[in-house]
């Protein structure tokens, strides 16, 4: 994958991400490749959710004050209740590498941080292995599980031919005809409830490796995919690849998106950005709005942003492979409060390696702890 992007997923069925196989669980190969790391001798101190007030002294003793009755908490307004409800509606798939690690290491002093700040958050479920015979049932297992809880799943079809231009995440369907059939089967599993589809990360932004004819054929297949998915489930929201704010200029990315059907209400609900990358939410918000403005199409088109690892933004040298000093970003929510930004999502699960702190897509507890406690 080019330096502008970030390794999305490991090869084959060991996707590394939350990835549903035949029984809805992560593949055994992925499990066996969870990377170990030295355990700290003392339990970590959980960082506070906010810094102390300016001028406050950590060592100064508190001033004695009379005990006072706490003021009653204000009653949430209807708008606040609606926002909280929207934030809580995303689905957390009950099986992933991070949950496997938490269950297997109850005595590890990092568990409290990793469990509460990563494993406890809803994240996308990836379908990255080309298994046409079982894809419908695997998708259905996820969407049915979400529907039973009244929640909204995020699913990622990731099987377009020549994905990642032969990089670490290479793989996918053998050709576009097979991919079209795979998408048809994928759509059968969407059910009738709300579902967010993050359609083929990097498939548009990283299409320069294709010939002109190959790019046109891929874009036609992606446009078809959006139509098939939305026809199968009119409540599905399908988003197309906008790369990220440090990659292509907004106008160029919009032109590519338009060729892939992202400006058509029949196939698209908008764009996604920052998948597996580190750009700040503010930068992505501005960029996505520029892309949408240049894209045209219905006024209702919006954007979703991967905030899983962007808490400190991108490193100064634009390193994309498990760079040090990063942290988790905003929690996933369907209520951002930002115009044209439909959701903040965790598409790349924090702690799953880009390929430097472990094999691509495998879970590294040391990396997860670093992200969660920075």
Bridge partners of residue 303, in order along the sequence: 271, 341
Could you tell me if 11 and 358 are in contact, meaning their C-beta atoms sit under 8 angstroms apart? no
Give dist(CA 320, CA 3) in Å, integer. 7
**Structure-token pair, residue 134:** 């079982």
Q: Among residues 129, 162, 202, 322, which one is catalytic?
A: 202
Give dist(CA 173, CA 182) in Å, integer. 8
Count the Cβ atoms, other than its own, within 10 Å of residue 317: 8
Which run of H or E residues covers position 240? strand 236-241
Q: Among residues 129, 162, 164, 322, which one is catalytic?
A: 164
Q: Is 202 one of the annotated active-site residues of the chain?
A: yes
Handedness of CA 351, 355, 358, 361 (dihedral sign): positive
Q: Is 306 one of the annotated active-site residues of the chain?
A: no
Give dist(CA 311, CA 265) in Å, integer. 32
Give dist(CA 269, CA 231) in Å, integer. 13
CA 369 to chain centre: 18
Q: Is 354 one of the annotated active-site residues of the chain?
A: yes
Report the candidate in 94, 71, 35 with the shortest Cα–Cα distance to residue 322: 35
Could you tell me if 240 and 281 are in contact, meaning their C-beta atoms sit under 8 angstroms apart? no
Q: Among residues 269, 288, 342, 354, which one is catalytic?
A: 354
Query: Catalytic site residues?
Result: 164, 202, 354
């Amino acid at each position: 994958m080019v330096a502008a992007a970030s390794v999305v997923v490991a090869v084959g069925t060991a996707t590394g991400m939350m990835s549903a196989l035949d029984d809805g669980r992560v593949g055994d190969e992925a499990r066996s490749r969870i990377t170990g790391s030295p355990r700290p001798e003392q339990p970590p101190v959980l960082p506070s959710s906010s810094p102390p007030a300016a001028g406050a002294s950590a060592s100064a003793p508190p001033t004695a004050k009379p005990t006072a009755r706490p003021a009653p908490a204000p009653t949430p307004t209807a708008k606040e209740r609606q926002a909280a409800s929207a934030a809580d509606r995303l689905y957390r798939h009950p099986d992933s590498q991070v949950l496997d690690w938490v269950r297997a290491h109850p005595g590890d002093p990092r568990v409290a941080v990793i469990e509460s700040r990563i494993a406890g958050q809803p994240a996308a479920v990836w379908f990255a292995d080309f298994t046409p015979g079982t894809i419908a049932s695997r998708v259905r297992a996820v969407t049915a599980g979400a529907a039973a809880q009244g929640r909204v799943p995020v699913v990622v079809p990731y099987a377009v031919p020549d994905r990642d231009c032969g990089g670490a995440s290479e793989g996918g369907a053998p050709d576009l005809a097979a991919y079209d059939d795979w998408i048809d089967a994928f759509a059968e599993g969407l059910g009738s409830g709300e579902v967010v589809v993050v359609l083929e990360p990097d498939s548009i932004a990283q299409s320069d490796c294709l010939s002109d004819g190959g790019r046109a054929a891929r874009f036609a297949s992606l446009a078809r995919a959006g139509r098939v998915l939305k026809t199968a489930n009119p409540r599905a929201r399908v988003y197309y690849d906008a790369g990220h704010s440090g990659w292509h200029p907004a106008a160029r990315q919009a032109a590519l998106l338009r060729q892939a059907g992202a400006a058509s209400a029949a196939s698209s609900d908008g764009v996604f950005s920052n998948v597996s990358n580190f750009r700040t939410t503010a930068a992505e918000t501005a960029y996505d709005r520029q892309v949408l403005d240049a894209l045209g199409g219905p006024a209702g088109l919006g954007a979703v942003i991967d905030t899983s690892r962007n808490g400190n933004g991108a490193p100064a040298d634009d390193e994309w492979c498990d760079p040090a000093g990063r942290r988790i970003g905003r929690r996933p929510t369907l209520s951002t409060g930002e115009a044209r930004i439909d959701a903040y999502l965790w598409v790349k699960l924090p702690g799953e390696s880009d390929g430097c702190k472990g094999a691509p897509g495998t879970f590294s507890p040391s990396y997860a702890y670093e992200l969660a406690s920075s």
